[in-house]
Amino acid sequence: MSRLAIVIPAFKPDFFRRTLESLAAQTSDGFTLYVGNDGGPPELGDICADFPELEIRYRRFEENLGGRSLVAHWNRCVRMSDEAWVWLLSDDDVVSPDCVETFLAHPLDGVDLVRFDTETIDAEGRPIRTHEPHPRSESAEDFLMARLQGRRHSFVVEYLFRRTVFDRADGFVDFPVAWCSDDASWFTFAGDTPIVTLPGGRVSWRASGLNITDANERRQAEKLDAAFRFLDFVDDRVRPTSARPPSAWNGAQLHWLHDQIRHVMPLPPRTLRRLVDRSAPYWPLSPSRRASRLAAWNAVATLKSMRGRVRRALRSRSG
C-alpha cells in the first residue's frame, strides 16, 4: 500500500480534467487517489473514467454536504482513505510533475506537516504570480504570526499532513465556508513539530472566479463570522512569551482583521453597524472612530466595485 493518499473533495467539473492530468504526469506513482463528489454533476465520474492509469477510488455522495459545511465534506473525503499521509487537493488546481517524488524522497521523521511552494494561475492556466518561497522550516507559532501580519501566502492545497494528527484533532477546524479553517488546522496539526517546506515541486493555485476566495458578495457575512471565530481561536490557543508578548499578538491580529474586512468590502450598512461592535475586542478605538474608519474604507471599496462593473459592461458590449 502506498503511504500517500491524494484526496480531492470535488464539486466543479470546469477544471477537474486539468487537475487529473497533472496527477497522471507525476514522475512517481507512489500514491492512491481518492475523489469524493459532493453531490455534484455525474460528469466528474466520467472524467475520472478517462484516467484508468490513476486507478481512482471514486465515490459520489448523494448529500451536498459542502453546501452546509465545506470542512465536513473535506473530512469525510479524507476518511475515504487510510494511508499514513494525506494531501488534500481541490478540483481545479494543478501540481508540477515532481511533487509526489519530492515528497516520497524527503525524510519525515519528527515531522507531521509539510508543504510545497506555490504560484497563482488564471482560468487558462497562465501564471499570475509566483509566491515568495516559504522558509525551509518554521514553528507553528512563526507560521501563524506571519499569516496574521500578512507576510505569508498559504493555500490549503500546498500542505500534506500525517493522518495521526488529523485523527487526533478529529479533522479540520470547522469555520463557515472553510474560511481560515486551513490556517487554524495547520497550527493544530503541526503542534510542537516544525512545518517543513519540501525542496522541490510546486502547486499552482487557480484564481478562476469560481472558488470561495473570489465569492465576496455571496459570502460576506459568512467570511466575517469565520474571521472572528479565527481570532477567537488564536486567543484561545496561542500562549504569549517574552519574545512575543500579548501586545505583539494583539497588533498582528488587528492587522489581519483590517485586511479581512477590506477583503470582503463593500458591505451593506447593517453589516457595517454590526462590525463596529463585533470588532471592539480587537480594535482599540472608540465606537465612533471605528465607524468612521469602516465607512471610509467601504466608500473606497464601493467606488472600486462600481468601476469594475462599468469596465465589465463596456467589455461585454464591445464583444
Predicted local confidence at residue 316, as pLDDT: 72
Cα-only R_g, the chain: 20
Quote the CA–CA distance of 7 and 159 in Å, as a whole number. Answer: 12
Quote the CA–CA distance of 43 and 22 in Å, as a whole number. Answer: 19
Quote the CA–CA distance of 201 and 134 in Å, as a whole number. Answer: 13
Give CATH 3.90.550.10 domain extents, the chain: 4-212
Reading the block at residue 198, the C-alpha cell is: 519540501
With contact defined as beta carbons under 8 Å apart, do 85 and 31 qualify?
Answer: no
pLDDT, average across residues 10-26: 97
- Give the Cβ contact number of residue 227 at 10 Å: 23
Predicted local confidence at residue 50, as pLDDT: 98
Total-model pTM: 0.93
Question: How crowded is the C-beta side of 248, counted as CA atoms within 13 Å?
Answer: 13
Confidence class for position 211, pLDDT limits 50, 70, 90: low
pLDDT, average across residues 238-250: 96
Quote the CA–CA distance of 59 and 39 in Å, as a whole number. Answer: 10
pLDDT, average across residues 176-184: 97
**pLDDT, tens digit, 9 for 90 and up, residues 212-227:** 444 456 689 999 999 9
pLDDT, average across residues 227-254: 97
Cβ-in-10-Å burial (0-12, 13-18, 19+) of 189 comes to buried
Residues 152, 153, 159, 161, Cα dihedral to 10°: 30
Q: Which of 23, 70, 108 has its CA nearest to residue 185? A: 70
Counting residues of the chain whose pLDDT is more than 70, the rounded percentage is 96
Strand positions, DSSP E, 113-265: 113-121, 127-130, 137-138, 159-162, 195-206
CATH number corresponding to 4-212? 3.90.550.10
Predicted local confidence at residue 309, as pLDDT: 84
Residue 58 has pLDDT above 60, yes or no: yes
